[in-house]
Each structure stands twice: as C-alpha cells, then as structure tokens.
Amino acid sequence: MDQNKTYLHKLDVRTKLTVFFCILALVFLFNGPFANLGVLAALIILIVPSGIGMKEIIKALKPLLPIFIIIVIVTLFTASGNYFHESSKKVLFYLLPGDRAPATLGGLYTGLTFLLRIFIMVISTMVLVMATPIDDLMEFFNKIKASYKLSVVVTMAISFIPTLVQKKDMIFQAQKARGAGISQKGIISQLKAFIPIMIPLITNSIMMANNLSISLTNRGYGAYNSITTLTEIKMKTADYIVTVVAVICTAFCFYLRFSLNIGRI
C-alpha cells in the first residue's frame, strides 16, 4: 500500500496534532484499564487502514516488556486503595505471612492502566511521526510563528528517530555476533543486555550531533531569523470533519467520566 495515498498521510498536520492531543487527554482522563483498553482498540482501528505496519510498532514496544511486568508487579502490592471502589478493594492474595503485603484487585487494575497508558502514548507518537512529513511540521511551526531554532531542533529530533532505530538494530546484531549474551532469557538478564547496546548507541548519537552541528554551521545556520518552506499546508473538508469528530468524542468522554463516573477503578 502506498502510504502517501492513505487517509492518515493525507490529513493536515494540525488535524493529526489535534487528534494526538485528544488521545493523550483520554489516556489520563480514565484511571481504569477497561476504558483505556477501549481507547487502545479505537487507536488500532484507526491505524490499520493507514498502511502503517503494526510489526514495526510491536518491535519498538518489545524491549519495554520487562518494564511493563515490573510496573504491574509493583502496583499490585503498593497501589493505595483509598480511591478504589469497594469491588476493587478485594484482596487477591497476600505476599507475606500474617496477611501482610496484600495484592488487591485495584492494584492490578492500576498496573494495567499504567501499562495501557504507555502503550497508547508510544503507539500514538510513533504513528504521528511516521505519518507526518518533516516539511509539514516545519510549515506548522512557521505558521504559529514559533522560533526557527525550536522548529529546527524539534524536526531534526523527529527525523533522526528512524536513523537511531536503524543504528540500534545494527549495534544489536553486532553485539550478538560478538557473543554479548543479548538474547538471554529472564528480566534481569534482559535489563543487563541493554548496557552493551545503549553505550554504543549514546556514543554514536553524540557523534551524529557533533557532525550535524558542523554541517549546520557550514550552511549558515543562524544567519537569518526566519525559515522558508517548500510546501504549503492547507486544511481540507476531511480535516475539519476529523477535527470536529475528535473534539466531540473527547468532550463526550469527559461527560462519561465526570457526570456518569465511568472509567475509574
């Protein structure tokens, strides 16, 4: 599928940012896992027809699996039950003898909520980056009269994300070939395996930043206080429809949360 012809890639950058911030608002609006699971399902339904590969997103989330497990385990025993419903205060089991360190149903729900929030934020951010051309983002900053320095920093940081991902994969394969024990099983072993990957990746990132600064200096960066763009972003009928629908859906969710008390633990 040609990604430049899908509905998500054709939308204006302002529409995408509006939907993105609406999703972030919904993520922190609900503190229960079932409501956030509904937000995640709706996000996946929007992503699938866009031609963006879910395999790339899952691949990016896979290294976070040990962190997800730790979050759920910790919140299972430490989440405060003062704000839980009576049904969520149910004790599943005790970690220590003498009915100490109870694992509550509300703690489990809290951990799953944190997990889903991270999932949704990572997925929505990746989709926004993958479906938005850098030129459109530059033009957006130009239209809102943002500092050209801010525009360049933000757009360059976003544009280098795929490059860093590729370098991470190259370092992973290189360290694996050297027998670094990266593919070992177990949470502790996987956390240790990040060390031989992150140190070269950080070093490469610093070198890339240094080379980039030299290139910008050679090209006269900072000589003028304004920037020029090659493209012109324009809101179309579809953009207005999507924006209005996103705002109405977000407002309706606020009504469900605060008027009907839906979406809390």
Domains of the chain: which residue ranges? 1-146+238-265, 160-221
Measure the CA–CA gap between 123 and 40, rounded to whole angstroms: 9
Instruction: State the pLDDT at residue 2.
Output: 46
Q: What are the two backbone dihedrals, phi and then psi, of residue 171, each rounded to the nearest 5 degrees?
A: -65, -40
Q: Which 8-state DSSP code applies to residue 218?
A: H
The alpha-helical segments, DSSP class H, found in 87-194 are 105-131, 134-143, 148-159, 161-177, 187-193
Q: What are the two backbone dihedrals, phi and then psi, of residue 92, each rounded to the nearest 5 degrees?
A: -80, -45
Instruction: State the pTM of this model.
Output: 0.76
Q: Which strand (E) or helix (H) includes residue 102?
A: strand 100-104
Answer whether 199's CB lies under 8 Å from 180's CB. no
Measure the CA–CA gap between 7 and 18, rounded to whole angstroms: 16
Closest by CA position to 71, among listed 134, 117, 115: 115
User: Going residue by residue through the chain (265 aa), what tens digit of pLDDT does each one get?
Assistant: 444 567 888 889 899 999 999 999 999 898 888 888 989 898 888 887 776 667 777 777 777 787 888 888 888 888 766 667 777 778 788 888 877 888 888 888 888 888 899 889 888 888 888 888 888 888 888 788 777 777 777 777 777 777 777 787 788 788 777 776 666 666 666 666 677 777 888 888 888 888 888 887 777 766 666 666 667 788 899 999 999 999 999 999 999 888 888 877 7
Token code pair at residue 175? 């360290």
CA angle 218, 222, 225 (to 5 degrees): 150
Instruction: State the pLDDT at residue 173.
Output: 80
Answer whether 204's CB lies under 8 Å from 168's CB. no
Instruction: State the pLDDT at residue 33.
Output: 87
Answer whether 51's CB lies under 8 Å from 3's CB. yes
Instruction: State the pLDDT at residue 244.
Output: 95
CA angle 113, 119, 123 (to 5 degrees): 150
Residue position matching structure tokens 């956390």: 191
Instruction: State the pLDDT at residue 228.
Output: 67
